Amino acid sequence: MPELVDDAPASALAVYAHPDDPEVSCGGTLARWTAAGTTVTVCICADGDKGSLDPTADRSALTDLRRVEVEAAGRVLGVRAHHFLRYLDGDLENDAGLRRRLVELIRATRPAVVLCPDPTAVFFGQHYANHRDHRVVGWATLDAVTPAAGNPHYFPDAGSPHQPAELYLSGTLEPDIWIDISDVIERKAQAVACHGSQVGEPGEWLRSVVRQRAEAGGQLAGVRYAEGFRRLAFGE
């Protein structure tokens, strides 16, 4: 039976590929946690420079616009700070370079909980395959959280070791915990709406899409609206 988790951690680090990913994947959870006093840091690995199908789109201008959008969304959610790793979309690899940067950030911010995409989720139904950047960031973050960040022999010059207590994997096909986001569903919708370059004009349709997705989670969790995660708890 999936578990509803009520407690908010003291600190959390959300690591995602593109500027709009945290809001879509775990915006309700971040809003709920910051309201309860959690210090939330967000790391965006790629620029979102290919987030347009218009062949004449100026990728540098799109990158700048998306930076503004993510910062606006962060203000809605109460995010303390953003870190931008500035990879180009599609160029991310789960290599030692990316893992080092993630380990450095984990050791610098020392979160109790890390959130990232579940890299094992590839196919969602018959019409959508999970973006490669999401999967790469999921694997790299998983590898950074366990075993690297807490082990002094990995990247010894990248800060003093820190083992996050838990890893929350979003966008998972196998959720085992749920966060009730009923009280913050409008803030999640408002944060998603900040990404105008991706979602167009904010309006009732967007709010209803956000609500519908959270409602599907809520049905499984036994509440109105919920976000589901696969959770790994270390040292238990």
Smallest distance from Zn ion to CB 193, Å = 16
Smallest distance from Zn ion to CB 120, Å = 17
- Phi and psi at residue 10, to the nearest 5°: -70, -35
Residues 40, 77 contacting (CB under 8 angstroms): yes
Our CB check for Zn ion shows the closer of 12 and 17 to be 17
Binding to Zn ion by residue 135, rule CB under 5 A? no
Residues 48, 10 contacting (CB under 8 angstroms): no
Binding to Zn ion by residue 66, rule CB under 5 A? no
- CB atoms near residue 17 (< 10 Å): 29
Binding to Zn ion by residue 195, rule CB under 5 A? no
The residues facing 81 across adjacent strands are: 41
Residues 125, 164 contacting (CB under 8 angstroms): no
Smallest distance from Zn ion to CB 131, Å = 5
Within residues 6-25, the interface with Zn ion by CB under 5 A covers 17-18, 21
Binding to Zn ion by residue 180, rule CB under 5 A? no
Binding to Zn ion by residue 47, rule CB under 5 A? no
Buried b (16+ CB within 10 A) or exposed e, 192-208: bbbbebbbeeeeeebbe
Binding to Zn ion by residue 89, rule CB under 5 A? no
Our CB check for Zn ion shows the closer of 155 and 229 to be 229
Give the footprint of Zn ion on this chain (CB under 5 A). 17-18, 21
